[in-house]
Chains A and B, each alone.
Chain A
Amino acid sequence: MSDKLKQIINKQNDQQNETLDQSDDIVQLVGFIIGEEEYAVPILSIQEIIKPIEWTRVPQTPQYVLGVFNLRGSVIPLIDLRVKFGLGAKNNDDETRFFVLKQGDDVAGFVIDRLTMALRIKKTDIGPAPETRAGDESMIDGVGKQADRILTILKVNKLLERDF
C-alpha cells in the first residue's frame, strides 16, 4: 500500500518537476474532431464544454451562425464549425458538444463533432501554419505534431472574430 502511495507521490513529483522545468515550452491544448480532421485550441481559452442544448435561430446571419443559446442567463452566439469549415451540416448526436470559448469579453459557443483529449505538446513540436494564406488572415495558428497524428491548432481570436 505504502509502496503504491510512494510511487504515486513520486510520479506526481516527477510530473510537477516536469511542468516546472518545461512550463515555458509546453502548450496545453484540447483536441476535437470536425469532419475527418483533428483540431485543437489552448485549454485556457475554453470556458466550458457542454452537451448540446436548445438554441434560437438568428436571422440575417451566415449559415454557420446557428443562433444564440442561454448559458445560465447569458445569451451566447452558437457557431457550427462544420459549416464554417465548408463541410455539410450534421445532426447532433451523442458525441456532439458545444465548446464555449472565451477571450476577453468575447464569448461564443462552437459546435464540434467529437472531443478527443486534453494534451500537452512541446512548443518545438508545433510547426507553422501552411502558407496558403497571409499570416494574419489565417485561422490556423500552427500544426501540432504528435507521434501518431497531426492536429491543427486554431487561433481563438480569429474564431471569435465576426467575419460577416
Chain B
Amino acid sequence: MDEFQEILQDFLVESFELVEKLDEDLVELENTPEDLELLNGIFRVAHTVKGASSFLNFDVLTHLTHHMEDVLNKARHGDLIITPDIMDVVLESIDLMKALLNTIRDTSADAGIDVSGCVARLDKISGGTGEVDTPVSQAAPAQEEEVASEVVEAEEDELDYDNMSDDDVEAEIARLLSQRQDEDKAKRAAKIAAGEKVPEAPSVSEENESEKEETPKTKPVSTPVPVTPTPAVKVETPKANAKAAAPAKRAPATVEQTIRVDVKRLDHLMNLIGELVLAKNRLIKINDDVEERYEGEEFLEELNQVVSIVSLVTTDLQIAVMKTRMLPIGKVFNKFPRMIRDLTRELNKKMELEISGEDTELDKSIVEEIGDPLVHIIRNSCDHGVEMPDVRLAAGKSETGTIKLKAYNEGNAIVIQIDDDGKGLDVDMLKGKCVEKNLITEKEADNMSDKEAFALIFKPGFSTAAAVTNVSGRGVGMDVVKTNIEKVNGIIDIDSELSVGTSIKLKIPLTLAIIQALLVGVQEEHYAIPLASVLETVRISTDEIYTVEGRSVMRLRDDVLSLVHIGDIFEVERILDSSEHAYVVVLGLGTQKLGLIVDSLVGQEEIVIKSLGDYLKGIEGIAGATIRGDGGVTLIVDVVALMEIAKGVKATVTSESSASQLTHEKTKASDYTIMIVDDSKTDRMIMRKALEPLGVTLVEAADGQEALNILKQGDYNFDAMLVDIEMPRMDGYSLATEIKKYNRYKNLPLIAVTSRTGKSDRMRGVESGMVEYITKPYSADYLSSVVQRNVNFKSEFL
C-alpha cells in the first residue's frame, strides 16, 4: 500500500504539473491551430496521464483522457480543425480532468464525478463531424451510457496497447518505481529508463505518422533523437528542440537532477537560518568587544578569521537556501491565458494577453500570495479596463484590447506590471463614487492628488462597476489585492491615463524573512531601514537645511529634497544636544524621494524580520522588529508609511529644539537640589555637613555612572553638582562630558572637588565643562559659598 501511495504521489505531482502547462498550451493552440509541435505536446500530456492512470486503475480518468486523446489525435493529424467551440469542450474535459485529479488526491479514488456528458461530446467531435453537442445530451439514459462506456473501455484497452507498446509500459513502470528507490538504485534505474524512454516519445508519433501517412513536417523534430548514440547527447537533443520537448516535460535527465522536497522542511530550514543569522550578528558584536579589550593579543587574529568565515558561510548558506525556495513566477502566470480566454467569451470582448518575464524567480511563499491579487487585477482590467470592441473602434483603438503582464527584477525586489490599453481611470469619477459611498469626505477628495485618487480603488467597499457581474463589481477584489500585497511587504503603484490605459505595478521583495538594513541612531534609539529603499546617505551641516512653507528642504545636487527628522516621526524626545552636523538618509520609493535626518549612521546589518505581534500590529511607520547582536530589539522602519507620515510633519529641524529649562521659581531653600558625586563615603559626608546648614536638598551618587543614571531618570531638577575626579567606573571628566551632551543639563554648573591640583588637571576640568575647581582640603564655608554663588542662592533663605 505504501508503495502504491508513493507512486500515486508522484503521479499526482506530475499530472498537476502537466495539466497546468496544458491550459496555457491549449489557449495558444486556439490562436495557432496549425501548430503541430504544440498539438503534439498537448497530445502527449493527455497520453501520459492516461497511461499512468490506467496503470493505477483510475478507470474514470482513463476513460476521459482516452477520449480527449482521440480528439487531439485527430486534430494532430489534420482531420479536425480546432474551432473555439471544440476548444470549449476540450477545455471542459481538462477541467474535469483537474477535478478528477483533485478527487484522487483527496480520496485516492476517482469516483464521484460524472464524465459521461463530456465524453459524449468529445466522441461526437472525434466522430468527424466537428460539430459540438449541446450539453442537453447529458440527459441521456444512464443505462445507455454505461453500456457505451463499457464498450469504450474495451476499445480503449486495445487502443492502449496500440499507443503504448510493451516497452512504453515497462519504461513507465521503471520510471515510477525508480523514483521511490534509494539514490544509487534510482540513478541506475533512471539510466535504464532513460535509455528506453527517449526513443519512446518519437515512436508514438512515428507509429501514428506511418499509420496515417502524415505530412513530413514533424519528422525533423523526431528523427534526430533515436539516432543520437550516447545518453548524454540524448539529454541534450530534446533541449535543442526545446519547443517540442518542453510541453511533455519528459526529459529523462530531470529524474536524476531534481528531488522533490516537502515545503515544510524548507520552511524549517529557513527558520533555522534566520536564527543562525541572529547568532552570527551576535558573534560579530562579541568579536568587536573582545577586540577592543584585548587589543594586540595573538589569539585575536585567529578569532577574527573564524568569525569572518562563519559570517561568510552563513551569508552564503542563507542565499543558497533562499534560492532553493525560489520558484519562477511563470507558475502563477500560467493560469492567466486560460482566464483571459474564458473572460473574452464571457464578456464578449476581444482581449489578448502578453506575458513576459515568466522566468523571474520569487520566494515560494510570495508566489503563493500573489496569485489571488493578480487574478483580481487582471479580472478588473478585463471587466472595467478594456472596452467593448465597438467602443474601442469608435475611440480609434484596435478592436482587440491588450493586457500585458510582465515581471522583472529591480534591485532587491521584483516588479510585476499589469498594463492594459483600456479606458483608464477617471479621477473625478473615482472621487465622486467614493464621496457618494461615504468612503471619503468631499474635502479630502478636493485635496487629493491623482495618485492618491487612483489608490481609492483599493478601498474596501469601492467599486466602479454599475452592476455586480459574475466577473467583478463586488468591491472586494482590489481590497484583497492591497491586503495580500502588503502582507508580503510589497508596494502597489498605479498609473493611468484616461482612455489610454492603466498600469499597475506591484513591487515585491525577493524574500520575506531576512533583509539587509541600514541602522541609524536618533538620540539614544536605533532604527533599521530596509536597504532596498535607501538610495544614498549624505552628511550635511545644519545650515544647509532651509525652510520652505514650513517644511525643511535641502539641495541635493540639482534637486530639492524635502527633509523630515526621524525624531519627529517617531516622537523621540530630544534629550541629547544635536550637533551641527546631521546625516540624511535619502529614501526612494517609486518616483518619490525623501530625506530622513538622523543623528548617526550605525552601519549595515542583515536583520531577521520579526512581527510585533497582534497587540502592536499596524503601527504606522513600523514594519516589524528585529533582534540585534546585543540582544536588544530594534524596530524596522516601514518606508512606505513613513513617506505618508512625512507629508503631514511640519519642520522642527532648524528651530532650536526647545526642551527648554523651565526655571522653577524657588520658594524655599529645599527647592535647591544639589548632587554630590564622590566614591568616598567620608568625602560625601564632609560635603553634606558643609551644605546641610543651607537647607538645600542633597542627593548622593557613588560614581559617575550612578550620577548619570540619576540624571537620566529625571526625578530631580538639579541646580548644581559637586563632582570628584577620581572615581571607579566613570571618572569626573567623562561624567562632565556625558552630562554636557544633554540639552537639559547643558547649563548645569559642575563643580569639581578634588585633591588633584596639577595645572593640567585644572585644564582638563575646564575642557570637560567644569565651572569651578575646589581642591581638597577645603573649608566648609568655602564650599558653601561656591555652591551658593553657582546656584544663585537667594539670600533670604539663609
The chain A residues found within 8 Å of chain B, CB to CB, are 54-61, 65, 67-70, 73-77, 91, 105-108, 160, 162
Q: Which of B621, B633, B634 has the most CB of A within 10 A?
A: B633
Q: Which of B275, B572, B611, B632 has the most CB of A within 10 A?
A: B632
Q: Do residues B632 and A70 form an inter-chain contact, with CB atoms below 8 A?
A: yes
Contacts of B632 in A (CB 8 A): 54, 56, 70
Closest Cβ–Cβ distance, residue B752 to chain A (whole Å): 28
Q: Do residues A91 and B612 form an inter-chain contact, with CB atoms below 8 A?
A: no
Q: How many angstroms from the CA of A58 to the CA of B572 in the assembled complex?
A: 10
Query: Which residue of A56, A69, A74, A162 contacts B635 across the interface (Cβ within 8 Å)?
Result: A56
Instruction: Give residues 567-609 of B contacting A (CB, 8 Å).
Output: 569-572
Q: How many angstroms from the CA of A106 to the CA of B614 in the assembled complex?
A: 7
B550 close to A (CB within 8 Å): no
Q: How large is the interface on B (under 10, 10 to 19, 20 to 34, 35 or more residues)?
A: 20 to 34
Given contacts A73-B278, A162-B614, A162-B615, contact A68 B569 (CB under 8 A): no
26 sampled A-B residue pairs with Cβ under 8 A: A54-B632, A55-B633, A56-B525, A56-B633, A58-B619, A59-B570, A59-B572, A59-B622, A60-B570, A60-B621, A61-B619, A65-B616, A68-B616, A70-B631, A75-B625, A75-B627, A75-B633, A76-B613, A77-B613, A77-B615, A77-B616, A91-B713, A106-B613, A107-B613, A160-B615, A162-B616
Q: How many angstroms from the CA of A68 to the CA of B570 in the assembled complex?
A: 15
Given contacts A70-B631, A162-B614, 14 further A-B pairs with CB under 8 A are A56-B625, A57-B525, A60-B571, A60-B621, A68-B612, A68-B625, A69-B633, A70-B632, A73-B627, A75-B612, A91-B713, A106-B615, A107-B613, A162-B615
Given contacts A56-B633, A56-B634, contact A70 B627 (CB under 8 A): yes
Closest to A67 in B: B633
The 6 closest A-B pairs by CB, nearest first: A59-B570, A56-B633, A75-B625, A77-B615, A75-B610, A59-B571
B298 close to A (CB within 8 Å): no
B620 close to A (CB within 8 Å): yes
Q: How many angstroms from the CA of A57 to the CA of B65 in the assembled complex?
A: 63
Query: Which residue of B611, B621, B633 contacts A59 across the interface (Cβ within 8 Å)?
Result: B621
Q: Chain B's interface: helix, strand, loop or mixed, by majority? A: mixed
Q: Do residues A91 and B619 form an inter-chain contact, with CB atoms below 8 A?
A: no
The chain B residues found within 8 Å of chain A, CB to CB, are 275, 278, 525, 569-572, 610-616, 619-622, 625, 627, 631-635, 713, 715
Contacts of A162 in B (CB 8 A): 614-616
Contacts of A69 in B (CB 8 A): 633
Closest Cβ–Cβ distance, residue B622 to chain A (whole Å): 7
Closest Cβ–Cβ distance, residue B617 to chain A (whole Å): 8
Closest to B614 in A: A106
Q: How many angstroms from the CA of A97 to the CA of B620 in the assembled complex?
A: 29
Question: How many pairs of residues, A versus B, come closer than 8 Å at their CB atoms?
Answer: 71
Q: How many angstroms from the CA of A162 to the CA of B618 in the assembled complex?
A: 11
Contacts of B611 in A (CB 8 A): 75
Contacts of A65 in B (CB 8 A): 616
Closest Cβ–Cβ distance, residue A131 to chain B (whole Å): 28
Contacts of B613 in A (CB 8 A): 75-77, 106-108
Q: How many angstroms from the CA of A117 to the CA of B754 in the assembled complex?
A: 49
Closest to B278 in A: A73
Closest Cβ–Cβ distance, residue B639 to chain A (whole Å): 15
Closest Cβ–Cβ distance, residue A94 to chain B (whole Å): 15
Contacts of A107 in B (CB 8 A): 613
Contacts of A108 in B (CB 8 A): 613, 615
Contacts of B627 in A (CB 8 A): 70, 73, 75
Contacts of B275 in A (CB 8 A): 73
Closest Cβ–Cβ distance, residue A67 to chain B (whole Å): 8
Contacts of A76 in B (CB 8 A): 613
Q: Which of A54, A57, A61, A75 has the most CB of B within 10 A?
A: A75
Closest to B569 in A: A59
Contacts of B615 in A (CB 8 A): 77, 106, 108, 160, 162
Q: Do residues B614 and A58 form an inter-chain contact, with CB atoms below 8 A?
A: no
Q: How many angstroms from the CA of A61 to the CA of B619 in the assembled complex?
A: 8
Closest to A162 in B: B615
Contacts of B571 in A (CB 8 A): 59-60
Q: Do residues B713 and A59 form an inter-chain contact, with CB atoms below 8 A?
A: no
